[in-house]
Amino acid sequence: MLNWLTYGLIDIATYTQSFLVLFAFLLWFLSVKRHIDIKENLKLLSKVAAFTLAGALVSPFFIQLLRGRMVQFFAGIGKAIVKIDSGHTLWLFLNAAYQGVSITAGFFLLVLAIRLMPSAKKLTFPLIHPFILFAAVARMGCFVKGCCFGKKIDPHSIFATIYPPNSPASAYFNKTEQLMSRFQPSLPVHPTQLYLVVALLLLFVLQHFLWKKKIVENYTIAIIAVAGYGIINFFIEFLRQEQLLYDFLTLGQFADIGLVLIAISMFFAKPVVEKPVEQTRGKA
């Protein structure tokens, strides 16, 4: 999106996206640190991170299994591994293998890890509440990079976004023969990344208000975050240019459904918190 500033000589979009993602992680870390003692919970945090990372590592195989392309996937991996001869080609290989792994999939794995590990229940609010802000900032990086773009929109719409030549959107429309060349500006599309950014920021503000005013418990706020993210992203996915699974829903929408189901299970499995008994002192 920003590469037009250097006529494509410097990939500003990639650097900007990397900066925004790192900044998002920093915000997340600082918020988690505010709510819990990192050193005291380091072992537990490491277990949750290991579970989430393990899920992310095997997710490409699961994704291809769902798409019915497991055989072709393994055949492609074999050919790609042979061609790895430098750090750059290794990066291209990993980027291709994990292109189906998104922020939504990562969030799903994180929530699933917390849900399946009883000892990690105390991390529910500290990890999930700030994730919404992390996702909003990271999605700004998606907009800058041009990935996760939306479907075509009326050129006269105030939301119409045109990406520069050689962007993912231009490459897509060239592949579908709607553009003569990928080195042309893209057709106008929905800025779905910004739709999600605005919606997630509003969700985060709502959470923060509930937390500050102590209207509901922290655990319930986390449930609202999980369900809210799932519902918001599910509907925005209808505007995003994504491949449908079984001509039905996108992979992201299946993850969104999973998030909502986990949120429901969290709600009904919520531990009962008894009100403290007020102690009254007799007059001496």
What are the tens digits of pLDDT across the range 139-152?
A: 998 898 888 899 99
Pick the residue with more confidence: 93 or 15?
A: 15
CA atoms within 13 A on the CB side of 251: 20
Q: What is the mean pLDDT of residues 127-137?
A: 94
Average pLDDT over residues 46-55: 87
Alpha carbon distances (Å) from 13 to 20, 28, 83, 93, 168: 10, 22, 27, 20, 12
Q: Looking at the domain assignment, is residue 202 inside a domain?
A: yes
Residue 152 carries which DSSP code? Answer: B
Which pLDDT does position 69 carry in this prediction? 62
Residue 168 to residue 147: CA distance in whole angstroms: 6
Per-residue confidence at 190, pLDDT binned at 50, 70, 90? Answer: very high
Domain that holds residue 128: 3-151+190-268
Q: Does 173 reside within a domain?
A: no
Among residues 39, 148, 146, which one has the least CA distance to residue 102? Answer: 148
Tell whether 212 is covered by a domain. yes
Angle between helices 192-213 and 131-145 (to 10 degrees): 160
Domain count, the chain: 1
Q: Which of 48, 29, 30, 221 is nearest to 120 (CA)?
A: 48
Other beta carbons within 10 angstroms of residue 231's beta carbon come to 17
In a domain, 213, yes or no: yes
Share of the chain above pLDDT 70, in %: 75
- Whether residue 275 is contained in a domain is answered as no
Q: Where is mean pLDDT largest: 51-65, 154-168, 218-232?
A: 218-232
How confident is the model at residue 243, as a pLDDT? 81
Q: Does residue 121 lie within any of the structural domains?
A: yes
Q: What is the pLDDT of residue 68?
A: 65
Mean pLDDT score across all residues of the chain = 82
Full-model pTM: 0.82
Residue at 183 is within a domain? no
Q: Is residue 105 part of a domain?
A: yes
**Residue range 235-275, pLDDT digits in tens:** 999 999 888 777 788 888 888 999 999 999 998 886 544 44
Tell me 244's DSSP state: E
Q: Which of 36, 217, 48, 41 is closest to 116 using CA atoms?
A: 48
